[in-house]
Amino acid sequence: MNLFHASWFYWAIGIAIGFPVGLILLTELHRALVRRNSHLARQVSLLRNYLLPLGALLLLLVKASQVPAGEGAVRILTTLFGFMVLVLLLSALNATVFEGAPEDSWRKRLPAIFLDVARFALIGVGLTLMLSYIWGVRVGGLFTALGVTSVVIGLMLQNSVGQIVSGLFMLFEQPFQINDWLDTGTARGRVVEVNWRAVHIDTGSGMRIMPNSMLASTSFLNLSRPTGAYDCAITTKFAVADSPDKVCAMLTRVAGALPHLKPGVAPTTVALGGAAYRTTITLISPADADANEATFLRWIWYAARRARLRLDGADDNFSTKQRVEKALRTVVAPALRLSLIPPIDLVVVG
């Protein structure tokens, strides 16, 4: 009769039944998530292999065996259980909010620095609760000491802290995102990483590291906004005597044959005066600008000569009378087995 009235007896029975039942249920749930390729399979595995056994052991010690909660072994186990709960929360937050996010959602575009801030905040709250409730540490005095220490460290590392704060303010505004193309004046390329201190820009010839404080204090051009197109303007010069309409038609025709053009948008060419012309080509991405400009400049060199236009004011001396005669004598005549008759000078005697 005393056995049925003891509280530890029911705790022991509950642990003896609930622990294997929980293992079976979590195992089946884990297998179902693995078959579906779910991001939560790892979290369920963590819950089954670590949290459930630790929780059952704690209940067995404190409730069934009635070991005081202030004992060292119980405190250590409780601390391990708290750490595992923190790991589970961090992993579940990343899996549910960010890993399964669609490509065009704000969760996918959120910079990694915000995830780090959220993780540090969650870890700080968890450590504070464990120190306060498990080990009996006075958190108020600890916060005071940390505040004084942070002021001293901030004064010592004010340049680095300034870059971090500048980066946070700039990222809160979000003037650019990962994979956007930036032109900072000193570098032009694609943003591949944003961290606490700097922005990493892939320029094609190397990785340019731009400090956040530098980007926050100067103006830069985001080539990827508005999204979906990029206008590449190329300026060329011809001779003053060349017809502007003929030059514009030739440049527009050559630009229309370039690759990576945005569908439905035709290139345009305008005369700027002073024998200068600007051709605007709408591309799909800024990444294609350099290759298309190089191809365009190479193609118009040949097109200008076919149309008898003088690019950069240069006269075409490739089809002079002397060169034509030399080609006839050295190429055409041997190929057709012709003999050239020397010219006859006629002298009229009066």
Task: Tell me the domain boundaries of the chain.
Answer: 2-110, 161-222, 230-306
**Could you give the C-alpha distances from 5 to 1, 18, 58, 100, 209, in angstroms and in order?**
7, 20, 22, 50, 70
Report d(CA 229, CA 283) in Å as an integer: 6
Q: Nearest to residue 294, comparing CAs of 264, 262, 328, 258?
A: 258
HSE-CB for 129 with a 13 A CA cutoff:
12
Are 226 and 218 in contact, with CB atoms under 8 Å apart?
A: no
3-state SS class at 9: helix
Q: Roughly what angle, to the nearest 10 degrees, separates helices 52-59 and 7-35?
A: 180
HSE-CB for 109 with a 13 A CA cutoff:
12
Sign for the pseudo-dihedral over CA of 99, 103, 106, 111 = positive
Domain boundaries 161-222, corresponding CATH code:
2.30.30.60
| pLDDT score at 299 | 93
Domain boundaries 230-306, corresponding CATH code:
3.30.70
Report d(CA 22, CA 68) in Å as an integer: 26
| pLDDT score at 75 | 86
| pLDDT score at 346 | 45
pTM for the whole structure: 0.44
Residues of the chain with pLDDT under 70: 1-5, 97-114, 139-168, 171-172, 226-229, 316-320, 340-350
